Structure formats: C-alpha cells, structure tokens
Copies of this chain bind each other. A is one copy, B any other.
C-alpha cells in the first residue's frame, strides 16, 4: 500500500483542481520583496530544519501590510537564531491569508462495509466534542447529500440561521467535489479541518490527505440468478413425522402452499397424507425450490442431488456452519450456488414465507396473518418473536425472510425483488452486520417502497456478542445510521418498532380520548416528541362533544372524558371523533380509576366499525388484565403503556 502525504502548497493546488477554495498563499524567499494583497495574513517558516514552527517563533499572525510581513519575516529569522537555527537558500517562507469564519469539517475514511465514506459537519476541536457530522456514501446523489446535511445541527447555517446567507449549494458542491476526488484518486483518508464557512463560500484552510490503494472489495453476486419469488415446485428435504422436530413443523406449515409440494426423508413413509420420497432423485421433473432440514453433514450431498433438478432456490434451515466454526462447508455451499446459478437462503435460518402463494416454510409455531409488510431478518429468534407478537395482534405480512448466516442472499438482494412484488407495500429489516454495503446503498436508493430498519450490535459489548453468534463483524453504528438516514431509510430504535412503525407510517394527526388528565398530558408529550400532531378541535366539534360529555370535559384534545367515565361516555366521544376528517389515529387511553370499566370500554371496538384506526392504551396492571385478554382474544391491537404506544412513532 503506497502512502503519500502532500505539503501545504501541493495540497492547496490539488484541492484547487477539484474546485475547492483555499486561502490566498504565496511562497517567498529569505529576502525577496514581499507583495501580497489579502490581509490579515500569516507568515510561517518553510524549512526542513523546523518541524514545530510555533515552538521556535516560526509563525507570526495578524499581519496587515507587506511592510508588516517583511518585519514579520525579519522577526522569525531572529527568533530562529535564538534557537540556533540558521537559514540558507534552501529555506523560505509561506504567506497565507488569515480566513475568518465558522469552522466546519469535511473528510473521508475508507470503511470495510461501505468503502469510501464522506463526513461533513462541525469542525475545529468541536468535531470530536459534538460529533455533529453526517455520513455520505461515495455514490450518494444530491438528494441524499441534502438529507445527510439536514441531519446535522450545523446544517441550519445553510437555512437562514440568524439571517446568515450561506448557501447549501456550497456544501453540496464541495461534497460532490470530494466524491469526484475520491473516484479519480486512491485516497485512504482525507481531512479538511477547519473548512471555513465565510460569506464568500467554503475555504479549506488545513488539509491532510493520505493516499493509498483501496482495500475495499465486494463479493460479486451475479444479478442474473433466478427470481427467488418464483416458486412452483417445492421440496422439503428432511420432512419429519416426529412431532416437535423442525422437519415436522416446516412440513406442517408448508401444507397450505398453492403450488406442488414434495417431502423427502431417507426413511420413506408418509406424512400428512403425502408420500415421503426417500431421495430427491426419486422426484420426477425439476424442482424450483428446496428446503433443507437434514443434519449439517448431509447438506452438501443433498445439494449435489438438487442441482440435477435445475434448482433455483435453496433454503437451508440446518445450522452448524459458519456460526459453529465450520466456514469451509459454508463457502462450498456458496460456491455451488454461484456455479449452478441458484439462490441460497441460510444456512442456520428460520425459513421463508410468501403470502401470495401461501408458502410458509418457516418453523414458526403460530399462524401468519396476511398483510403487506415484508420482513427481512438476520436473526431467526427476532423474527420468531415478532411473528409471535404480530400474530397475537393481528398484524400481517406479505413476506418473511430469515437470512441466517447469509451465505448468499441478504437484504441487498431481496430489496429489489420486494420492490417489484405487488403484495408488498413496505419493507422492514433487522440487521446485525451488513456486507456489500455499496450495493446495499444502491438497492435502497433504487427502491420505491418505504424501508424500516433496526440495526443491532451498536455497542462494543454487543458487537462482541454478535460476532460470537453469527461470526459477523459489525461496523461503526453512527456511520451506518447516517448513511441509512441519507438514503431515506426509517431507522427504528426498538424491535417492536419493526412491525409497528410501518403499521403507523401514515399517522400524522392524532386524537386522544382519555379518562385522566395526567396520563393524557404524558401521552401528549410523547406524541409531540415523536413529531406527530395533536389534532386541534374546531368550534363545532367542541359543541358536539359538549352535548355528549359532562360539562367538566377538557374542551381540548386530549379529550378528557373525566375519571368517572363509563363505557358509554367513551363510546359517545369515539363516535364523534370518528367523524373528524384529517385525523389518522385515535388513542383511547384508559386508566384504572374508581368507576373505570376497562373491559366494557374495549368491547366498544368490537361493537362498532370505526372509520379511523382506534387503539386502546390500557394503563395499569391487575385492573387491566381482563380488557387486555379481550383485546388479544379479539385481534384488537392495544398497548400496555404510553412508552410502548409511542416508541415507534418517531421514524428517525
């Protein structure tokens, strides 16, 4: 790896080539006449004999004329003499204009996941202190750059903060120049700090460039592999007659498939009224899709049989590969996929679900409801937990993908497929360690559907834990988060948000009906904090509520129906609120007070078909048990705390 560090004047020239402004600067000899025109200026010694210029009086600041500069030069020569440094004809001086302005920063690093990544934000010593920077992928488009800048606080400087007339275009042009520079040169690291924001634009004052060949490399995955969502003939290798075994659960779940389904087990026999083939070879004709549940050592031999059947898609449930230290077999499986042009999901995964064909080859124990959300998970257990939670709350899915060890297929490959899938309206992703980051950005950039994402292994302790269970290396979370935000991804901060944030994605205006002011206030804070709006009641709505509610009601949203509210009062308020236009959600907040009938109140939701989404928040414990059970038994989505009801609303 070649390294190279440029001198100040070389740097200024190099930056100038990319249209990046630098301060006026001039080299002068030991006694030539000085003619400089940008003041105040600095004069500095330029000599291989002097390393730490300031320490030997080799820098003089705040000079306002050529006479001052010449005096300054004389002063430096004298200062150096005191340090026993005598200059000769190889030495000289550099004069630089002093630039005053806000200290910003632009730089780049080479990241293992994403390759070259640009950082832009507050500079000077505050770069480190405030970390007010955004991250921009090397191929980011203008809209991504703008979105990235908008995540920084200093971004406000470009939007009229305190009447400043700094143009956002300056920052965008600069970042695009850096993108170009990174493409045309081998640059490992770039640091322009400070980058001064002045009324004449951005000026790079100090810069450092570390040249070197890129070590970033993406495994190339051919785009020509078959369509993973085209499954007509499916075989389950390892279908098992013993209840409790994974091969049993998958075979059972798969029965609803609307295409042709085959079971294979070396023992032969019958399962769910279907023949158990002793070998894949015994099945006539081609196989689109195979699910492997056999022991790890049988996986590769099974694949050899399957490729003879023109296999398109392979789902390996079996564990015992990279995550267990057996990387060799996993690489061989990946190699076979490449060689024989089939997709691989897994190994060590929970399976796959496609709603439109009722193809459920997961070993989740519960049912999956129909829906329009596709979920891609790098953890089978996270998927299983959320499937379980979703089933109970009647939240449905269009697709479920458990990518396991991701020997082949990852989110980056699945996103384009889902973007074309009609039944999918939004994509939600749980990720621990990303690979092929540049391609992932490209997949997301081209995807027209909203994407929600949770990234695990943010902390050092968790990176260690993640590595121990998947062998995946997790990178810098701030960078990952920043790049995803710049791409318009909704990054969520809790697991539950993976299913709730897409479900509530269109919520802007909220009405709250409550039997208590305090919790109503807390909910209002949470809604405001999430950037959502408490719908403002108009005079006629207030008048209508006045007729239905006791005089003490809040006359405001939250609609406080007062502590002694029985179900009928909630019902009156709900019916009126349901008529409001321009609202997206009604939270029905119930606290256990003296007269409260929580069960009776949630029953209203079964008795009426409300036009708007109505979601109960059942605060408390003991006194809410019956009402919560009723909701669960009747597929009514509810929350048990205000925190839970709002954690997914901010889609950062």
Contacts and interface: CB of A to CB of B under 8 A. Distances in A.
Contacts of A380: 516, 518, 563, 593
A574 interface: no
B465 A517 contact: yes
Q: How many identical chains are in the complex?
A: 2
A413 to B, nearest CB: 20
Contacts of A595: 244
B469 A554 contact: yes
B495 A642 contact: yes
Nearest to A41: B62
B552 A324 contact: yes
Given A324-B552, A379-B516, A521 B621 contact: no
Contacts of A527: 461
Top 7 A-B pairs, shortest CB-CB distance = A379-B518, A469-B517, A381-B516, A392-B621, A459-B528, A388-B620, A389-B621
A464 B496 contact: no
Interface in A508-556: 515-522, 524-525, 527-529, 534, 552, 554-556
A77 interface: no
B62 A462 contact: no
Interface residues of A, number: 102
Nearest to A155: B129
A525 B157 CA distance: 34
A6 interface: no
Given A430-B518, A643-B647, A381 B593 contact: yes
A162 interface: yes
27 contacts: A62-B62, A63-B64, A129-B157, A246-B594, A249-B594, A363-B594, A366-B621, A378-B518, A379-B518, A381-B515, A381-B519, A385-B519, A389-B619, A432-B521, A456-B525, A461-B525, A461-B528, A462-B524, A465-B524, A465-B556, A465-B558, A468-B555, A469-B517, A469-B518, A469-B554, A495-B642, A643-B644
Interface string A408-426: 0000000000000000000
Contacts of A244: 594-595
Contacts of A153: 129-130
B391 A621 contact: yes
A385 B620 contact: yes
A210 interface: no
A464 B102 CA distance: 38
Given A129-B161, A457-B525, A640-B640, 15 more contacts: A378-B518, A379-B519, A380-B516, A381-B593, A382-B591, A385-B519, A385-B591, A391-B622, A392-B625, A393-B621, A457-B521, A458-B529, A465-B521, A469-B554, A496-B641
B642 A641 contact: no
Q: Which of A366, A465, A520 has the most CB of B within 10 A?
A: A465
A432 B529 CA distance: 16
Nearest to A68: B64
A501 to B, nearest CB: 13
Contacts of A462: 521-522, 524-525, 528
Given A381-B518, A391-B622, A495-B643, A554 B592 contact: no
A390 interface: yes
Nearest to A494: B643
Interface in A105-144: 125-126, 128-130, 132
A643 B493 CA distance: 9
A154 interface: yes
